[in-house]
């Protein structure tokens, strides 16, 4: 159903430029990876705290608030560098099962992160139960780790 | 040096890793995921030193409570990275970005040790400062730049052709 859209993306002059310009792809990939590192840090510093480890002397909500701008802006950079890369290899992505797994997991992870996880992370520690934050932290780590795995496998196995 | 890499290249276990269908994707994926764990958390430590993030967290709380997680990521990253190197020793030996990455890893280690044995010794005087003293901020900036360089050169190792002409002239690929 989406094949014409992917064919259109592949045919864009931007896609062609990324494929032919010597440094375009490596530069996009390097910035994407740097943004991924910042994003991972912003996710993990909160998730580890949700597990009841890490920065336990600091209130959870305070850590979550401090990490939020880094989480948001690094995700924007991930999008800005990821979309042109995806467009330049659109048909390869379309036929890769890992790409679809990544996108499906990403949809779930984004909704989860900006709804349930955000609500729990911004709740005062004494109002959180013993197990809920741990479950939320584990789900978050699982979702984002699997996205990184699928993303890496698109390039390696497709 | 080349003979050492050439010797490793002929070992049975190196050949097995090189020829295995699953070893390379598994190792590389584990390398990237563990790098995210390590570098992501270290980035926040560096940002705290620079005074840009988690400023209300005491500086001494991070090594005590976050470093064990970061070091776990570093250990997995080192093991998988070493195995990746062992799987194609001669390919990496001739790779410009591999050596650049190794050089920056050494510098990052030196920066960390210098900070630990100098500025950090007086940490009790500034651990709660939202903006740490200049020496700590410089160490944080140096660490951020070096780890960013390590991540970038790690990615660039896949682009062995995009290297300076003088490197190609060294002809490290062998005869």
Measured between CA atoms, how close is A103 to chain B, in angstroms? 18
Measured between CA atoms, how close is A28 to chain B, in angstroms? 11
How much is the pLDDT for A1?
80
Mean pLDDT along residues A123-129: 90
List of chain A residues whose C-beta atoms are within 8 Å of the C-beta of residue B37: 40, 44
Instruction: Determine which helix (DSSP H) or strand (DSSP E) holds A138, and give its type and residue range.
Output: helix A132-157
Instruction: Report the percentage of chain A scoring pLDDT > 70.
Output: 99
Distances (CA, A) of B61 to A69, B128, B147: 22, 10, 22
Weakest mean pLDDT among A1-5, A60-64, B124-128, B150-154: A1-5
Would you call B33 and A149 a contact, using CB atoms and an 8 Å cutoff? yes
Of the pLDDT bands very low, low, confident and very high (cuts 50, 70, 90), residue A158 is low
Tell me the backbone φ, ψ of residue A59, rounded to 5 degrees.
-55, 140
Flag whether residue B155 sits within 8 Å of chain A, measured between CB atoms.
yes
Would you call B56 and A58 a contact, using CB atoms and an 8 Å cutoff? yes
Domain count, chain B: 1
Compute, in degrees rounded to 10, the torsion defined by CA atoms A118, A120, A126, A130: -140
Distances (CA, A) of A52 to A105, A116, A144: 25, 17, 19
Residue A29 has pLDDT above 70, yes or no: yes
Q: What residues in chain A have their Cβ under 8 A from chain B's Cβ atoms?
A: 22-23, 26, 29-30, 33-34, 36-45, 48, 53-58, 62-63, 66-67, 70, 145, 148-149, 152-153, 156-157
Q: Is residue B175 part of a domain?
A: no
Residue A48 has pLDDT above 70, yes or no: yes
Beta-carbon pairs below 8 A across chains A and B: 106
- What is the domain partition of chain A in residue ranges? 3-157
Would you call B56 and A56 a contact, using CB atoms and an 8 Å cutoff? no
Distances (CA, A) of B57 to A58, B37, B53: 6, 20, 9
Chain centroid offset of residue A68 CA = 14
Segments of chain B with pLDDT less than 50: none
Interface confidence (ipTM) of the complex: 0.94
Cβ atoms of B47 and B140 within 8 Å: the answer is: yes
Q: Is residue B109 part of a domain?
A: yes
Residue in the block written with tokens 């608030």: A65
Question: pLDDT, tens digit, for every residue of B137-175?
Answer: 999 999 999 999 999 999 999 998 899 999 999 988 866
Flag whether residue B62 sits within 8 Å of chain A, measured between CB atoms.
yes
Would you call B148 and A34 a contact, using CB atoms and an 8 Å cutoff? yes
Helices (H), chain B: 2-10, 12-19, 23-50, 61-65, 67-87, 89-93, 96-117, 134-156, 165-170
Q: Domain range for residue B157?
A: 2-170
At B112 the three-state DSSP class reads helix
Cα first-last separation, chain A: 20
Q: In a mutagenesis test of the B interface, which of A54, A85, A142 is the best target, namely the one with the most B β-carbons within 10 Å?
A: A54
Mean pLDDT along residues A65-75: 97
Would you call B35 and A37 a contact, using CB atoms and an 8 Å cutoff? yes
CA dihedral sign of residues B8, B13, B15, B20: negative
What is the Cα–Cα distance from B172 to B168, expressed in whole angstroms? 8
How much is the pLDDT for B175?
62
Would you call A54 and B151 a contact, using CB atoms and an 8 Å cutoff? no
When the pLDDT of each residue in chain A is averaged and rounded to a whole number, the result is: 95
């Amino acid at each position: 159903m989406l094949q014409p859209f992917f064919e259109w993306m592949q045919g864009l002059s931007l896609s062609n430029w990324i494929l032919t310009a010597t440094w375009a792809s490596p530069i996009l990939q390097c910035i994407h990876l740097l943004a991924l590192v910042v994003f991972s840090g912003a996710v993990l510093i909160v998730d580890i705290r949700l597990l009841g480890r890490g920065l336990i002397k600091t209130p959870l909500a305070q850590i979550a608030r401090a990490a939020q701008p880094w989480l948001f802006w690094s995700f924007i950079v991930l999008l800005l560098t990821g979309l042109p890369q995806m467009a330049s290899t659109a048909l390869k992505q379309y036929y890769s099962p890992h790409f679809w797994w990544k996108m499906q997991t990403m949809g779930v992870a984004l909704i989860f992160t900006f709804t349930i996880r955000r609500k729990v992370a911004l709740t005062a520690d004494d109002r959180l139960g013993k197990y809920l934050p741990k479950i939320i932290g584990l789900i978050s780590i699982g979702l984002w780790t699997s996205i990184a795995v699928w993303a890496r496998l698109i390039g390696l196995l497709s | 040096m080349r003979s050492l890499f050439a010797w490793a290249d002929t070992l049975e276990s190196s050949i097995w890793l090189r020829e295995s269908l699953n070893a390379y994707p598994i190792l590389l994926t584990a390398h990237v995921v563990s790098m995210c764990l390590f570098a992501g958390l270290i980035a926040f430590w560096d940002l705290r030193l620079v005074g840009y993030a988690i400023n209300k967290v005491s500086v001494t709380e991070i090594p005590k409570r976050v470093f064990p997680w970061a070091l776990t990521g570093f250990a997995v990253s080192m093991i998988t990275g070493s195995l990746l190197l062992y799987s194609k020793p001669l390919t990496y030996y001739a790779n410009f970005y591999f050596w650049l990455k190794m050089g920056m890893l050494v510098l990052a280690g030196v920066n960390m040790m210098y900070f630990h044995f100098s500025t950090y010794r007086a940490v009790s005087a500034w651990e709660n400062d939202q903006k740490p003293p200049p020496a700590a901020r410089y160490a944080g900036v140096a660490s951020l730049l070096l780890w960013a360089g390590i991540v970038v050169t790690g990615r660039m190792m896949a682009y062995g052709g995009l290297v300076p002409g003088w490197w190609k002239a060294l002809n490290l690929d062998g005869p």
